Amino acid sequence: MTATTRRERRGTIAGLILLLLAWEAAGQGGWVAGGALPAPSQIALRAWLDRGDYPAHILGTLRTATAGFVVGSLLAFVLGVAYTRWPRLQRAMSGVDVTIFAMPAIAIVPILIIALPGDAPRVVLSALSVYYPAMVAVVLGLRQADPRLLDLVRVHGGGAVAALRWVRLRGGLPTLLSGLRVAAPAAVLGSLLAEFGSGSSAGLGTYLIGSLGRADPARLWGIGLAATALSALAYLAVGLVAARFAGDTVPASTPVGTAAGQAAGEVRGWVARSMPLLAFLLPFALWEAGTWALRLTDVSEIVFRDPAGVLAHLIWDEGAARNRGDIAAALAQTLPFALAGVALGLAVAFALAIVSLLWPPLGATLLPLSLVTQSMPLVALTPLVVLIFGRDTGGILAITVSVTFFPAFVTIAQGLALVPPGLRDLISAWGGGRGIWLRRVAIPWATPYLCAALRLAAPRALLGVMIAEWLATGTGLGNLLNEARGRMDYGTIWSVAVVSVSVAVALHTAAASLERRVLRRFAFAS
Amino acid sequence: MGARDIRIDAVERRFARAGQAPLLALDRVSLDLPAGSFTALIGPSGCGKSTLLRLIAGLDAPDGGAVMVGGAAPRVLQREGRLGIAFQDAALLPWRTVTGNVRLPLDVTGHRDRESLARIADLVALVGLAGFEQALPAQLSGGMRQRVAIARALVTEPDVLLLDEPFGALDQILRRTMNAELQRIWMRRATTTLLVTHGIDEALFLADRVVVMHGPPGRIATIVDVPFARPRPLTLFADPAFRALEDEVAAALYGRVPGSAA
Ligand SMILES: Nc1ncnc2c1ncn2[C@@H]1O[C@H](COP(=O)(O)OP(=O)(O)O)[C@@H](O)[C@H]1O
Ligand SMILES: [Mg+2]
């Protein structure tokens, strides 16, 4: 057991060193995309020359990401506890939660920058990015308490508060911490994204955007790697705390069966029937309430749109037809890429996860690599991918595939790792070969995990496409948003945000309902 | 307040089943447990023993009939913190030591007076875990964990003690030892006790009365009175009168006529 893991680890390290050497050679030779891929040594040299710039930018990102992480985790904790206590509240809030999870963060960046002063947009976006994974982990951790221990508390006259205090909180801590660990890199990404178009503040996102025009690949790589290191450190730091409380066994991605943190407990009658409607309306109600709250501040009213305002922009305002046309055209550019990227990324992930079952060295190299890329901030990745694959179709597709492939591979590979080894022997004992085993066990087993990966990947793909469009290609929703920001066209800013968030929520909802059906089909659900 | 009586009056409990008629887990079960008595409940798996125990504990509510403890609803007993319970597997808090786990009921009820806290050490010693006070559950064997659960059930000096197959996971030798210890503990302080068990010998060794259940639908088949005087020695297991009673309970359980060939 230990011998094989040691050998595996040695294989992984050897693979990574090989990769690094190949990279150095490719960079020195200028083999990739006419020198768009600099050698590691060239990146290091550039970073050394830029060493005066880095501290302020790193500190700026670190400060706002940390603040966002704390705010987001606190919010997740409070709501997670409330959801555990009142499952109906979770149902009512499910629309808000899914919106926060699925929305392409970049879509609301201009709005946050309009509405909030100073560093607040960065803190808020990073808090929003942290909230959902952290909340799901809190609810999961608190709900998984041993039912007999809960009985024991009740038998001694303890209510919900006593159960929380003596059993649920401490018992859920490992799950909660592993959720926070996954959320930590998201905090960094949120902070970086909110620097888009904010201008002055110091941060790696600002530095990246400011360096885009200089066409210096080594600098872009340096910033990308610094951002990656930052979020990897955040992941490790929270992981260190988590390890102290053991139970360090929860997979780094959202496991199967926790589709969107489904609320437990049955609700019957008219309350149940009106729940979906309430869940649907609540995000709009909060939006409306938010605009009312902003009217009380001294921010100019012309920059805001409430739901009616967005409808006006798209339906009955003067020029509404043109507005609609712009957005529809942009959506027609963005959506195909997002969907193609998801399909391609998932297909490759599914195939490779199955292949690495038959040929373990592949998995031993790919899995750690995939885990590392999970903490890579998308923003930092995008310019690099575009540099290599070009500003057109290839670049965007490469981004969506990389954005969806790695997390999907992790989800599916970790799911397949749970196949009982005895099953394989059993099939052999019955005289079945690899083919039978693949068809009867591995593929059916991996299917629910594929669906979970789809649900997680679909919104991410949209975000990836929009970032690429904003930064590089000058097409689609991302570009429309960036342009509208430049023109101070508030109607379009709000409409693009609403449309892209709605599309992401629709994709997520479709994936989640497919997942539920598959889970039921494979009897994973209770 | 001392031990309380338990009155179970024509209790029914149904469980909904997807695509089938509801399962009748308890079918008009009536049973009186006098204050300070020791009753054993025995029956095949799925006959509703745990369901009945959960109703008495106030963890579940009947669909028909009533359960009264000391003339009041079980919830009253809960609220007063006068109930002790142990399940088939120990269900300990993995992050608390032996002492901490035994202390849990005191934390929940808030009865953390000096006298109650002092009882923890006594109980830990009583169940034979002296020297293991600071051990975590993961460091204990299954039998030791189960003894922690017994100590925990007793720490509030409950008026009613409910034990659901507490020795089910133990080996025969340890089981006998635990039977003797439970008798000793029980005799120190009269507590109305209900013990669910699969062991006929264990039931006869400990109880005043053995209630045999059949089901589903769960109902009481026979009640066998146990005449032996206390304290009962471990040699009782070999006593011919004891053996005869064992056959009688077995017959009620398996539907065989006493004395007939197997
Ligand atoms: N919460 C529940 N939901 C549905 N069915 C239950 C539930 N609890 C018990 N049952 C059913 O009621 C019957 C009696 O269960 P139980 O009281 O646990 O039996 P015993 O403890 O005698 O083995 C069983 O058929 C069991 O499946
Ligand atoms: Mg039972």
DSSP result, A479-505? HHHHHHHHHT-HHHHHHHHHHHHHHHH
User: What does the pLDDT average to over B217-231?
Assistant: 91
A-B C-beta contacts closer than 8 Å? 52
Kindly report the pTM of this predicted structure. Answer: 0.82
Report yes or no: B239 and B229 within 8 Å, Cβ to Cβ.
no
| B194-231 burial: b if 16+ Cβ within 10 Å, else e | bbbbbbbbbbbbbbbbbbbbbbbbbbbeeebebeeeee
CA distance A485 to A428: 62
Closest atom, ligand 1, to C-alpha of B48: 17
Q: Give the side-chain half-sphere CA count within 13 A for A337.
A: 31
The confidence score (pLDDT) of residue B43 equals: 93
Does A155 touch chain B if contact means CB atoms closer than 8 Å? yes
Question: What are the CA-CA distances from residue A247 to residues A141, A164, A173, B234 (Å)?
Answer: 11, 19, 9, 43
Query: Which residue in A501, A483, A502 sits closest to A493, CA to CA?
Result: A483
CA distance B254 to B27: 20
CA distance A142 to A154: 16
Start-to-end Cα distance in chain B: 48
- Measure CB to CB from residue B57 to each of A146, A155, A170 and give the nearest one: A155
Find, in chain B, the residue whose alpha carbon is nearest to that of A163. Answer: B108
Report yes or no: A482 and A209 within 8 Å, Cβ to Cβ.
no
Decide if A157 and B78 are in contact by the 8 Å CB cutoff: yes
Looking at the predicted structure, is the pLDDT value of residue A417 above 90? no
Percent of chain A with pLDDT over 90: 24
Q: What is the mean pLDDT of chain B?
A: 89
Chain A residue numbers with beta carbons less than 8 Å from the beta carbon of B59 are: 151, 154-155
Q: What is the mean pLDDT of chain A?
A: 83
**Residue B246 is which amino acid?**
E
Decide if B95 and A148 are in contact by the 8 Å CB cutoff: no
Closest atom, ligand 1, to C-alpha of B54: 17
Task: Name the 3-class secondary structure at A445.
Answer: helix
Does B83 touch chain A if contact means CB atoms closer than 8 Å? yes
Chain A residue numbers with beta carbons less than 8 Å from the beta carbon of B18 are: none
The confidence score (pLDDT) of residue A178 equals: 83
The confidence score (pLDDT) of residue B8 equals: 94
CA distance B72 to B232: 33
Report yes or no: A93 and A279 within 8 Å, Cβ to Cβ.
yes
Structure tokens at A305: 């749109």
Looking at the predicted structure, is the pLDDT value of residue A191 above 70? yes
Is the model more confident about B106 or about A432? Answer: B106
Closest atom, ligand 1, to C-alpha of B44: 22
User: What topology is assigned to B6-82+158-254 in CATH?
Assistant: Rossmann fold (3.40.50)
Which numbered ligand comes closest to the C-alpha of B218? 1
Shortest Cα–Cα distance, A159 to chain B (Å): 9
Compute the distance from residue B160 Cα to the ligand 1 centre, in Å. Answer: 22
Does B36 touch chain A if contact means CB atoms closer than 8 Å? no
Give the mutation target among B14, B15, B53, B197 for probing the ligand 1 site: most ligand atoms within 8 A of CB: B15
- Angle at the Cα of A382 from the Cα atoms of A379 and A386, rounded to 5 degrees: 160
Task: Name the 3-class secondary structure at A133.
Answer: helix
Q: Residue B257: pLDDT band by 50, 70, 90 thresholds?
A: low
The confidence score (pLDDT) of residue A255 equals: 36
Decide if B87 and A148 are in contact by the 8 Å CB cutoff: yes
A422: number of Cβ within 10 Å: 9
CA distance A355 to A361: 10
Q: Which residues contact A51 (CB under 8 A, 6 or more apart)?
A: none
Q: Residue A66: pLDDT band by 50, 70, 90 thresholds?
A: very high
Shortest Cα–Cα distance, B108 to chain A (Å): 6
Q: Looking at residue B237, what DSSP letter applies?
A: G
Looking at the predicted structure, is the pLDDT value of residue A5 above 70? no
Structure tokens at B259: 């004395």
Listed range (A298-302, A457-461, B41-45, B150-154) with the worst mean pLDDT: A298-302
Decide if A156 and B108 are in contact by the 8 Å CB cutoff: yes
CA distance A222 to B149: 58
B216: cis peptide before it, omega within 30°?
Answer: yes
- Angle at the Cα of B87 from the Cα atoms of B62 and B72, rounded to 5 degrees: 40
User: What topology is assigned to A305-526 in CATH?
Assistant: MetI-like fold (1.10.3720)
CA distance A75 to A25: 48
- What are φ and ψ of residue A10, in 5° steps? -65, -40
CA distance A55 to A202: 10
The confidence score (pLDDT) of residue B10 equals: 93
User: What topology is assigned to A26-303 in CATH?
Assistant: MetI-like fold (1.10.3720)
For A492, left (φ over 0), alpha (ψ -120 to 50), or beta? alpha
Structure tokens at B244: 């005869």
Chain A residue numbers with beta carbons less than 8 Å from the beta carbon of B88 are: none
The confidence score (pLDDT) of residue A268 equals: 58
The confidence score (pLDDT) of residue B261 equals: 46
Report yes or no: A295 and A463 within 8 Å, Cβ to Cβ.
no
Decide if B95 and A170 are in contact by the 8 Å CB cutoff: yes
Closest atom, ligand 1, to C-alpha of B16: 4
Listed range (A49-53, A403-407, B41-45, B147-151) with the worst mean pLDDT: A403-407
Which residues does ligand 1 sit against, CB inside 6 Å? B 15, 23, 25, 43, 45-51, 216
Chain A interface, best mutation among B53, B95, B108, B136, by max A CB count within 10 A:
B108
Q: Which residues contact B152 (CB under 8 A, 6 or more apart)?
A: A152, B86, B92, B101, B102, B104, B105
Q: Which residues contact B32 (CB under 8 A, 6 or more apart)?
A: B5, B6, B7, B8
Question: What are the CA-CA distances from residue A364 to residues A1, A40, A259 (Å)?
Answer: 15, 24, 28
Does A268 touch chain B if contact means CB atoms closer than 8 Å? no
The confidence score (pLDDT) of residue A269 equals: 67
Shortest Cα–Cα distance, A214 to chain B (Å): 56
Q: Give the side-chain half-sphere CA count within 13 A for A306.
A: 12
Q: Residue A262: pLDDT band by 50, 70, 90 thresholds?
A: very low
Chain B residue numbers with beta carbons less than 8 Å from the beta carbon of A162 are: 108
Decide if B93 and A170 are in contact by the 8 Å CB cutoff: yes
Report yes or no: A269 and A427 within 8 Å, Cβ to Cβ.
no
The confidence score (pLDDT) of residue B262 equals: 43
CATH code 1.10.3720.10 region(s) in chain A: 26-303, 305-526
Chain B interface, best mutation among A144, A146, A149, A152, by max B CB count within 10 A:
A152
Helix (H) or strand (E) holding B16, with range, is strand B6-17
For chain B, the domains span: 6-82+158-254
Decide if B85 and A152 are in contact by the 8 Å CB cutoff: yes
The confidence score (pLDDT) of residue A252 equals: 33
B239: number of Cβ within 10 Å: 14
The confidence score (pLDDT) of residue A525 equals: 44
Q: Residue A258: pLDDT band by 50, 70, 90 thresholds?
A: very low
pLDDT tens profile B39-87 = 999 999 999 999 999 999 999 999 999 999 999 999 999 988 889 999 8
Helix (H) or strand (E) holding A154, with range, is helix A147-155
pLDDT tens profile A90-114 = 989 989 999 999 888 888 888 888 8
Residue nearest to atom 17 of ligand 1 (CA): B48
CA distance A346 to A405: 6
Percent of chain A with pLDDT over 70: 91
CA distance B211 to B230: 19
A297: number of Cβ within 10 Å: 10
Query: Which residue in B65, B86, B67, B87 sits closest to B77, CA to CA?
Result: B67
ipTM metric: 0.86
Compute the distance from residue B46 Cα to the ligand 2 centre, in Å. Answer: 7
Burial class from Cβ neighbours inside 10 Å (0-12, 13-18, 19+) for residue B116 reads: middle
Does B109 touch chain A if contact means CB atoms closer than 8 Å? yes
Q: Which residues contact A39 (CB under 8 A, 6 or more apart)?
A: A23, A24, A25, A26, A27, A28
Is the model more confident about A330 or about A33? Answer: A330
> How many residues are listed for chain A in this entry?
526
Residue nearest to atom 16 of ligand 1 (CA): B48
The confidence score (pLDDT) of residue A199 equals: 65
Q: Where are any strands of DSSP class E within B18-115?
A: 20-33, 38-42, 64-69, 83-86
